[in-house]
Amino acid sequence: FDGGYQWFYEGRNGWWQYDERTSRELEAAYKKGERICELLVAGLLYIADFDAMLQIRRNDPSRRRRIKRDLATIPKKGVAGLRLE
Ligand code: V3L
């Protein structure tokens, strides 16, 4: 979307791009200045915390990953667990 930015979450040795729907939800919440955004990913609820820039699993807050908003062109592992190439 705008300015060529995208949303990413951290994997073991690189970044995954969020799926299209979740990315749109993150971007909308971020643009509204909200501090968190609730995400439903494969049946699990997560909180994206824009202050900490973390994704945290609702029912197990020890499951957390860094997130970032960065240029769509950065090196990435793939999209939502689907590897590139
Ligand atoms: N979108 C898609 N899948 C997710 C997301 C998300 N936003 N958050 C967690 N999962 P946790 P490497 C990731 C998946 O945080 O080898 C990648 O997409 C997560 O998938 O403990 O470490 C890969 O598919 C994990 O399988 O709640 O880079 C996979 O990890 C599961 O939910 C391996 O990636 C638990 O994550």
Q: In the numeric block, which tokens belong to residue 59?
A: 């029912």
The Å distance, Cα 42 to ligand 1 centre, comes to 10
**Which of 13, 16, 68 is the pocket-test mutation for ligand 1 (most atoms within 8 Å of CB)?**
16
State the Cα torsion 44-4-74-68 to the nearest 10°: -40
Q: Which residues of the chain have pLDDT under 70?
A: 1-2
| CA dist., res. 9 & res. 33, Å (int) | 20
Residue linked to tokens 């909180």: 47
Q: What is the ipTM of this complex?
A: 0.98
pLDDT given for residue 85 in this prediction: 76
Task: Kindly report whether the global pTM for this prediction surpasses the value 0.90.
Answer: yes
For position 3, what pLDDT does the model report? 77
Residue 79 exposed, middle or buried by CB count within 10 Å (0-12, 13-18, 19+): middle
